[in-house]
Chain A
Amino acid sequence: MHFDPVANMQLLVSGLAFGSIYALVALGFVLIYNAVGVVNFAQGEFVMFPSYIAVTFLLPAITVFGTVVHWQLPIVGVYLLVLVLMVGFGLLFNRIAYHPLRDRGWMPVVISTIGVSIFLRNAAQMIWGSQPIVMPSLFAVDTISVGPLHIRPQDLLIIGVTAVLIAFQFFLFERTTLGKQMRATAQDRATARLVGVRVGRIVAITFVYSALLGTISGLLVAPLFTVTKEMGALIALKAFAASIVGGFGSIPGAIVGGLAIGVIETFGGFYISSAYVDAIAFIILISVLLVRPQGLFGERVAEKA
């Protein structure tokens, strides 16, 4: 096989960009899991729904509930608006899908998040129709040349924003009272409550934070694909796989796992098989589970159950 360093560099950049998206969504999974002990199966809809809201305000013309609207607001304003709306969404999600079931173990919550996911996907289809919608990006050009490389500026934006968010999260968790309360809640809710942490509020904040991570991933990734009701589902499944590969519950694990899956998947899709590209994440997942069930950074899986 012909080995082309330029092509490989381009693959690496694009792999890191996808990996960043998986890492952000995986962080959302891990934060909620740590706070409430439950995997949120509607995490993909945290990516999909805000993307639809964004295109509604961005495009010169879009059909909403069968009527054409022409908002076409400035892109940065739309991003801010979507983030604000998703704060409310996160709070509502916590209230409806998690809060009433919080004392009933993990399975009912899993089922209810699945129910919310079905609801949102079909709400999206009802509101915006089933045609894929193209989201405008911040950039006027699709690719830029860096030396011999042709790179999508959107990829660089994704990697950059992810790096900033990870740094922000590190600061939040290590240096602020709120972050410490979130960590305390994740570690031991009963003890956290004993020392005065308002656990219910911290859980709500965690849901909001996780919804915002999903929103940012959606806004970043949608210009590369299209906005569809299914766009979040596969991203979320791969992000979930990434968080297990990294070691479930581990924040560095989610980041490294996400990046690793993005890069391996991109190279695998290019060199091995583009038809099976979506299987790669799960083949890695099952292999990791068999060889090192606790993941790269993780605790022992068997005891977490």
Chain B
Amino acid sequence: MTSNPNVTLSGPNVTLSSSKGGASRPVAIAVLIAVLALLPAFVHSDYLLSLVDTAGIYAIVVMGLGILLGFAGQLSLAQAAFLGIGAYTSGWLTTNLGWPAWPSMGAAMMMSALVGLAVGYPCLRLSGHYLALATIGFGIITQLVLINWKSVTNGSDGMGNIPPPQIGSFVFDSYGRYYYIVLVAVLACAYVAWRIKTTRVGRALEAIRENEIAARATGIDATRYKIIAFVLAGAYAGLAGSLLAHLTKFISPDSYSFDQSVVFLVMLIVGGSASISGAILGAVLLWFLPEVLRPLKTSYIMVYGAAVVAMVVFMPRGLVGLLDTLRTRFTRRPDAA
């Protein structure tokens, strides 16, 4: 059996973000960003904007998981735990110590990264199913701590009154305003992920993903790079958790369950695991899928489960792979492999 998820899931690295677009690509990205920046001008429903904000935040978590699984080939099911650590760090610092939101966000990211380091250091000696299991264990322990460490986390009652960020007297207290924080964060995280992918660290991770023993033989310190990927995944989730806390102003332990980690994993796989645009697409699509299925009422999560199976069976390389195939078919570019 293969230990490599990407050969089977994402196939060759032909994705929207890495295919050759020539000079048109920066233009396309600029247009996309401009359109995204204008979005709140056209969307007036608060409900819809809250969904968009959350989709963006989840895209950050999934990008982090993409670095770990897509780039480095290591499966973690603890993303929701890191999301929770970020959210509670932010919540505790702002409500108990009266910190402003911005430094709390930084601290939340640091905290998740540090916990990622502490957990990753012993756990990354394992791989495959075993790493997945160790991270499941870590996730469950984290959730139990959030529920039971009442003096800090307030237990199952959750933590409320988490203040929104502000610049001077401008408070990001509406979903429309918060959207811009999320947009900047998503773009920054995508940029960092893209830089990682295209530089030395990314190549080292890719070598580890393809064949860890061979990578070690060429002098790559595999353990160190895997820990880097794990810490980055933690930091992304920590930032996302903090963003979520300041958006919803209320956090409680049940949002950071094993099931939530599974949802993040599914988002990544459906999007296309080795691709940054795939991570974002998968997060956004699967976040909105239940909304689209809402007319089905109680059966919608059931249909969601069936849809996941169907997508894995019929779209082996995820959404990005599907889009790529379609594009090749319609444009018939000779260089598009």
Contacts and interface: CB of A to CB of B under 8 A. Distances in A.
A237 B259 CA distance: 12
A293 B269 contact: no
Interface in B262-298: 262, 265-266, 269, 298
Nearest to A104: B8
B9 A107 contact: yes
B298 A289 contact: no
Interface string A270-305: 000001101101110110011001000000011011
B327 interface: no
Nearest to B147: A275
A247 B212 CA distance: 23
Given A105-B4, A105-B5, A119 B305 contact: yes
A224 interface: no
Chain A contact residues: over half helix, strand or loop, or mixed?
helix
A285 B2 contact: no
A100 B313 contact: yes
B305 A117 contact: yes
Contacts of A100: 313
B153 to A, nearest CB: 13
Contacts of A186: none
A136 B258 CA distance: 30
A43 to B, nearest CB: 13
A305 B312 contact: no
A247 B44 CA distance: 56
Contacts of B5: 105-107
Nearest to B140: A282
Interface in B1-20: 1-5, 7-9
Interface string B102-125: 000000000000000000001101
A286 B4 CA distance: 24
Interface of A: 33, 37-39, 96-97, 100-101, 104-108, 110-112, 114-123, 125-126, 233, 237, 240-241, 244, 248, 275-276, 278-279, 281-283, 285-286, 289-290, 293, 301-302, 304-305
Interface of B: 1-5, 7-9, 75, 122-123, 125-130, 132-134, 136-138, 140-141, 144, 147-148, 212, 258, 262, 265-266, 269, 298-299, 301-302, 304-309, 312-313, 316
| Smallest CB-CB A-B distances: 5 pairs | A282-B137, A119-B305, A118-B305, A115-B308, A115-B309
Given A122-B302, A286-B134, 4 more contacts: A107-B5, A115-B308, A237-B136, A293-B126
